[in-house]
Amino acid sequence: LAKTTQPISMDSYEGQEVNITCSHNNIATNDYITWYQQFPSQGPRFIIQGYKTKVTNEVASLFIPADRKSSTLSLPRVSLSDTAVYYCLVGDVNTGFQKLVFGTGTRLLVSP
């Protein structure tokens, strides 16, 4: 299983763009990169998933360089409600969701 490394915490202000980078040096050919968000006292919520290049949805963008050894979750114009823990998961989703490993995540604090 590919190990992931993320910053433990990040601080930002409302309206700024936040980029959270995840390192996954030993990512395998069949692995996808998935990001989840977790608010206090709630279960994680799917944000975005990608394999290579760039993926964008209504919530975030995911940038994956050609070597796929890292990925960056980009949150445009964050608000206070984006304060949460963000998890980067790497794994072959074809072998089952349970194979995706949650690390300790990045704790994002958005201030006014």
Partner 1 sequence: NAGVMQNPRHLVRRRGQEARLRCSPMKGHSHVYWYRQLPEEGLKFMVYLQKENIIDESGMPKERFSAEFPKEGPSILRIQQVVRGDSAAYFCASSALTGRNTEAFFGQGTRLTVV
Q: Which two tokens stand for residue 17?
A: 């763009």
Cα–Cα dist 74/101, whole Å: 21
| Binding span for partner 1 by CB under 8 A among 14-22, 57-65, 68-76, 99-107 | 99-107
| Binding span for partner 1 by CB under 8 A among 9-17, 57-65, 70-78, 102-110 | 102-110
Cα–Cα dist 21/36, whole Å: 13
Nearer to partner 1, 41 or 112 (CB): 41
Q: Which two tokens stand for residue 82?
A: 């984006």
34 exposure class (CB count in 10 Å sphere: 0-12, 13-18, 19+): buried
How, if at all, do strands 9-13 and 106-111 pair?
Answer: parallel
x/- contact string, 36-75, with partner 1 (CB under 8 A)? -----xxxxxx--x--------------------------
Q: Per rule CB under 8 A, is residue 103 in the interface with partner 1?
A: yes
The 8-class DSSP code of residue 80 comes to G
Least separation, in Å, of the C-beta of 28 and partner 1?
14
* Interface size with partner 1, residues (CB under 8 A): 20
Residues that bind partner 1 (CB under 8 A): 32, 41-46, 49, 87, 93-98, 101-105
